[in-house]
A and B are shown apart, each in its own frame.
Chain A
Amino acid sequence: MNAAYVIVALPLAGALILLFGGRRIGDPMSGWLATIASAGSFVATVVVWATMLGMTSSDRTVDKQIFTWIPVGSLHVSFGLQLDPLSIAMALFVTGVGSLIHLYSIGYMKGDPSYPRFFFLLNLFLFSMIVLVLADNYLFSFVGWEGVGFCSYGLVGFWFDRETAAVAAKKAFVTNRVGDFGFMIALFLLFGHFGSFNYSQVLAPLAAGHATLAGSTATAIGLMLFLGAVGKSAQIPLYMWLPDAMEGPTPVSALIHAATMVTAGVYLVARSAPILHFSHSVLWVIAIIGAATLFLSATIACVQDDIKRVLAYSTISQLGYMFLGEGSGDYTAGIYHMIMHAFFKALLFLAAGSVIHALHNEQNMKKMGGLRKYLPVTYPTFIVGYLALAGIPPFDGFWSKEQILDSAWHMSPALWAVGAFTAGLTAYYMSRQVALVWLGQARWKEARPGADGGEHGAEAHEEYSGHGSESLSAEYGGSGQSGVGTHPPEEAHGDGGHVGGDPHESPWVMTFPLIILAVASTIGWLINAPFGGLDFLTKWLAPVFPSTIAPPIHVATGTKWILGIAVTALCFLGLGLGLMAWRKVERPELEPAFLVHGWYIDEGVSAAVLGPLTRMANAFSFVIDAKVVDGAVNGVARLTTGTGRQLRRLQTGYVRNYALGIGIGAAAILFFVALRVGG
């Protein structure tokens, strides 16, 4: 069990080494160093997991202390790790997928001048995420929470000399902060009510039934925690940062915005299940927001032209599914879908990065097409991921989505309907993506007069000014859809330069993770198959979600079959529609303006929030600061000089006047003495 320390220590060590010596280690050794650190962390996680397998299920909660952080009065907060089924499950896929993405990045980021900085941030991110999931108390988890937020900022704005990237990074961080505010309020409430942050003191008694929580307290804490989750996991109303965060390098999008960071919110809700159990209203809120988000973002994904933005909105949508599952009371379903989603979404992002790389940083799908002949490894792996996301059996997404939708039906058929319809939409927009990228005419040949990627960037940039959600980034002069530029590194190839050459497959460091993830997306669902006693994950997570707080949800088998067939039919329908409709590239009737602008939510928020905030800031700066504060300070100075000027008139320079002053003083003293002595 001491391997647990290794899980945490290795990425931290890697980050520190890269921080101080990264530049000297250079490209590509720093990448390999970071990958080995994260792979080592994964191995350690597997070791711990194997050890836990050997224990009985009731013993599987182990607490490891690192050191005491805050010993103040009755509050003891320590850097401690809680190794229980939920945290180890999270740690497994975080370190596993994370290591694969580290490996992929060695190839993707090759040639970038800030190569070591990238891997430093990646390792630091991994460390923060591990802290987040393995912490044994809310406050230490919050440290990790903040850490991943910071690393997200650093990685989204990795190419910080691009204005759009810097703005997107700020947007991500600030929007996250709103959620963090909720988390902090929840921390205060937790401390106020329980006097401690430790899971063992807050959650365990509630889960075991030894303690209860008043409904109002549970609602307050639950809502605030969920607000934090909304910020981190990009749900309504704090989702706008995620599409803009695609400005970062593709591995970042894969790791942070598909597999790990955005799942932190799901984890938080799952972890806080004992608290949420006491407040049905919060569970309804979670489910409803999850449902609304999954529908809204799926609709927007249907009209995106940038290959990464489709996947970004898809991520938001799938996160909505996870919250729908958790809100319906089926935490295991949410976790199951999270793990499945990590596999196929990371796969899709990495494959998209491979495509972008092959086309020299082209990201507009309308300028791709017919690539299936050119990328023999990326194409099939992408298809696997596509089928998994679309919910086509027997690939991953189907099984986890089914479980969520069954629980949603139990909660409310209306929620099920939304989820089912959106599953069809998901299949539709992914088919659109496949049709535009892989099938059809090779449109990228037309846009290539032999120039390098920079010119593509200029042309594509102009074309984009009408598309995409014109959000705050538009105010700053960048367009929402821009993904092209001179930033991603040009990879050196052996064929003597690729200017004017055909797209070619990526090197093995990039394709190997794709293959692994494709395999995982195909058979990964077996960890919790709903038949034959193969529901390993449910049994594994059972100690964490006992029936006292998560009553098992029973849907009649017959109903399950009907629901499943209905959803699958919708998925096939969407798939077929997408493939057929998008043989032609320009279909403006299928891309209504309000969807392209993201239901105008971004503009609405900036008008509602930015305007008053700017006015308030102006008021504070130019009125209060300039006039009141400065006026007071200057007024004091003026008072002093004015008084001095008046007192100066006493200094006449004439000795006789001074003598008179002495005389007056003496007379006054005599007067007081006479008063005192005589009276």
Chain B
Amino acid sequence: MLAALLASAASSGRDLANASAWAVFLVGAAMILTGAFGVILLRNPVHCALMLIITLFGVALEFIDQSADFLAAVQIIVYAGAVVIVFLFVIMFLGVDRREAAGPEATKFQKPLALILGVVALIEILILSGVTKWVSGQPSVAGALNGPGENVQKLGQSIYTRYLLPFEMTAALLVIAVVSAVVLSRRRQPSASELSSTEQEHLAAGEREPQ
């Protein structure tokens, strides 16, 4: 596949219609890589969150480049618009926006080993993608993607007919997530036996939890 990659790079550079696709690709790639390096290298977590937004936008661009319009929109709305905001909320809430504690590493081998691992994993994935033929050639079971018709329509049809069960399950999952978030982040109410009677009255009167 690597060979095909290089060949296609040479041949497709000539077409102007390709050029726009390539341009979009490269811009998106740049945004992605910048954001990624920013996330893993910057000290201030707020800065990391902002870098993450850049990465997400880059991925959205790549989606658009591959005619996955709906997904690109959802990516921006949900990921960049909601998830990262939640991140920022928590960062502010917990007050970890100060510099990450640069204390001594608890385990000395972690960082070097992680770096080596990252490189090794990357090489392996590239090798795998290069030497394997994972395309079975079977016709699609979910429906054709390319071809006439709106992307949204095709996606919607497949989700609401073929993948209805996963859809419902993820809906339930969202409900569970919301409930669990509320439960997990609740402040712990001391039980009645731990409080004195005056404290219990205070609590019943709706005051804040005893300090």
Contact = CB atoms under 8 A, between A and B. Distances in A.
Direct contact of A and B (CB under 8 A): yes
Interface in A661-677: 663-664, 666-667, 670-671, 673-674, 677
Given A670-B125, A671-B124, A654 B117 contact: no
Bin chain B's interface residue count. 10 to 19
Contact of B107 (A657, A667, A670): A657
Interface in A609-655: 652, 654
Nearest to A679: B131
B106 A678 contact: no
B120 interface: yes
Contacts of A70: none
A554 interface: no
A178 B121 CA distance: 77
A660 B115 CA distance: 10
Contacts of B120: 667, 671
Contacts of A493: none
Contacts of B195: none
B132 interface: yes
Nearest to A677: B132
A612 B120 CA distance: 70
A210 interface: no
B151 to A, nearest CB: 33
Interface string A31-46: 0000000000000000
Contacts of A24: none
Contacts of B127: 674, 678
A660 B131 contact: no
B179 interface: no
Given A654-B106, A660-B110, A678-B127, A667 B121 contact: yes
A487 B128 CA distance: 97
State the main secondary structure of chain A at its contact with B: helix
B121 A654 contact: no
Contacts of B132: 677-678
B114 interface: yes
B144 interface: no
Nearest to B125: A670
B110 A670 contact: no
B113 interface: yes
Nearest to B118: A663
Given A654-B107, A677-B132, A660 B124 contact: no
Contacts of B114: 660, 663
A663 B110 contact: no
B128 A677 contact: yes
Contacts of A657: 107, 110
Bin chain A's interface residue count. 10 to 19
State the main secondary structure of chain B at its contact with A: helix
Contacts of B125: 670
Nearest to A671: B124
Contacts of A660: 110, 113-114, 117
A677 B117 contact: no
Contacts, number: 41
Nearest to A669: B124
A674 B121 contact: no
B186 to A, nearest CB: 24
A652 B113 CA distance: 16
A674 B131 contact: yes
B121 A663 contact: yes
Contacts of A674: 124, 127-128, 131
B39 to A, nearest CB: 16
B121 to A, nearest CB: 5
Nearest to A652: B107
A251 B63 CA distance: 113
A272 B107 CA distance: 86
Given A654-B106, A656-B110, A670 B117 contact: no
Given A660-B113, A660-B114, A667-B120, A652 B128 contact: no
Interface in B8-26: none
B113 A670 contact: no
A678 B113 CA distance: 26
Contacts of B117: 660, 663-664, 667
A657 B120 CA distance: 18
Interface string B105-137: 011001001100100110011011001100000
Contacts of A677: 128, 131-132
Nearest to B121: A667
A338 to B, nearest CB: 92
A667 B116 CA distance: 11
A677 B124 CA distance: 12
A666 B117 CA distance: 10
A664 B121 CA distance: 9
Residue of B107, B121, B124, B132 with most partner-chain A CB within 10 A: B124
Interface in B78-114: 106-107, 110, 113-114
Residue of A660, A666, A673 with most partner-chain B CB within 10 A: A660
B132 to A, nearest CB: 5
Contacts of A667: 117, 120-121, 124
B95 to A, nearest CB: 21
A363 to B, nearest CB: 86
A503 to B, nearest CB: 92
A517 B125 CA distance: 109
A674 B130 CA distance: 10
A657 B111 CA distance: 10
A664 B128 CA distance: 17
A678 B106 CA distance: 39
A664 B115 CA distance: 11
A242 B117 CA distance: 86
Contacts of B128: 670, 673-674, 677-678
B94 to A, nearest CB: 17
A657 B114 CA distance: 10
A515 B127 CA distance: 114
Nearest to B114: A660
Residue of A656, A667, A670, A673 with most partner-chain B CB within 10 A: A667
A673 B121 CA distance: 12
Nearest to A678: B131
B121 A670 contact: yes
B43 to A, nearest CB: 17
A670 B118 CA distance: 13
Q: Which 7 interchain pairs have the tightest Cβ spacing?
A: A678-B131, A670-B124, A663-B117, A667-B121, A674-B127, A674-B128, A677-B132
Given A657-B110, A660-B110, A670-B124, 10 more contacts: A652-B107, A656-B110, A663-B114, A663-B121, A667-B121, A671-B120, A674-B128, A677-B132, A678-B128, A678-B132
25 contacts: A652-B106, A654-B107, A656-B110, A657-B110, A660-B113, A660-B114, A660-B117, A663-B117, A664-B113, A664-B117, A667-B120, A667-B121, A667-B124, A670-B121, A670-B125, A670-B128, A671-B120, A673-B128, A674-B127, A674-B131, A677-B131, A677-B132, A678-B127, A678-B131, A678-B132
Interface of A: 652, 654, 656-657, 660, 663-664, 666-667, 670-671, 673-674, 677-678
